[in-house]
Structures are given as structure tokens and as C-alpha cells.
Structure 1
Amino acid sequence: MMNSAFHIPQGEEKITIELTVKEAMALTGQKFHEDSSVKSEAMRKLNEVVLRKYGMER
């Protein structure tokens, strides 16, 4: 397997994402069986902020 390094412009810049406590916990691996949409909602928010911030909106 080949490992290739790549440069991420502004890779050390900080971004702010507003998550609920459950969403943050879901991103760390906690499972919420009663509400399986918690992790997907957190991922949606994360992707939305990153894409918007760096001009990669769909």
C-alpha cells in the first residue's frame, strides 16, 4: 500500500461547528440506537460548514 502525503491549504485554521452534545458524542463513536440519525446529522453539519467555508458548495 502506498502512502502519499498531500497539502491541505489552511489546514491549521480553526472552524466552528454547532453540534448538540449527542451529535458530538456520536462523532466520537457513541451509538444512539433509539435515534440512529444523530451521527448522520452531525456529519451533515460538519460537511456543510467545511464545504461552505472553503467554497466547495454543491
Structure 2
Amino acid sequence: MNASIKIPHGDDKVTVELTVKELMALTGVRFHGNHRLEVIARKKLNNILEETFEIEPAVPYQLLS
């Protein structure tokens, strides 16, 4: 199946400020004893995405019950 998904403004550029360690964590480098680097970097990406495209934050699974 070769279905393409169209995302409005999908080719627009955004800027996210990450430390070198955060960037490395996102690429798969493991910092043993400091998993927070990847978590912080992902939060930064999600925040920029939500701010840029006015996306409502996801509802935590625990609140759905």
C-alpha cells in the first residue's frame, strides 16, 4: 500500500533548541543513569509542535477511565 498522508504546512520549518546530549539521546544514544535527557528532549519537541500548530495536548491515559 502506497498511501500518502497530507499534513497542512508539513514542509514549514520550526526551530527547537536542544543541547548536544538531548539531540544525541533522540538519535538513540543511551546515557545510562540519565534517561531524563531523552524525556526532556521529547517534551521540547512536543511543546513546539503544540505551540506552532495549536494542537491540544493529549489526554493522559489514566484520565480516560
TM-score bracket, shorter-length normalisation = 0.7 to 0.9
Q: 5+ residue gaps in structure 1?
A: none
* Same amino acid, percent of matched pairs: 44
Q: Does 1:16 align with 2:31?
A: no
Superposition map of 1:45-56 within 5 A: 45-56=44-55
TM-score by length of 1: 0.87
CA RMSD of aligned residues (A): 1.2
Q: Rg bigger for which structure?
A: 2
How far apart, CA to CA, are the structure 2 residues paired with 1:44 and 1:3?
31
How far apart, CA to CA, are the structure 2 residues paired with 1:23 and 1:3?
33
Match for 1:21: what amino acid? V
Shift of 1:3: 5.4
Match for 1:12: what amino acid? D
Q: 5+ residue gaps in structure 2?
A: 58-65
How far apart, CA to CA, are the structure 2 residues paired with 1:17 and 1:49?
7
Q: Which has the higher contact order (CA 8 A, sep 6+)?
A: 1
Work out the number of aligned pairs and report it. Answer: 57
SS in 2 for 1:42: helix
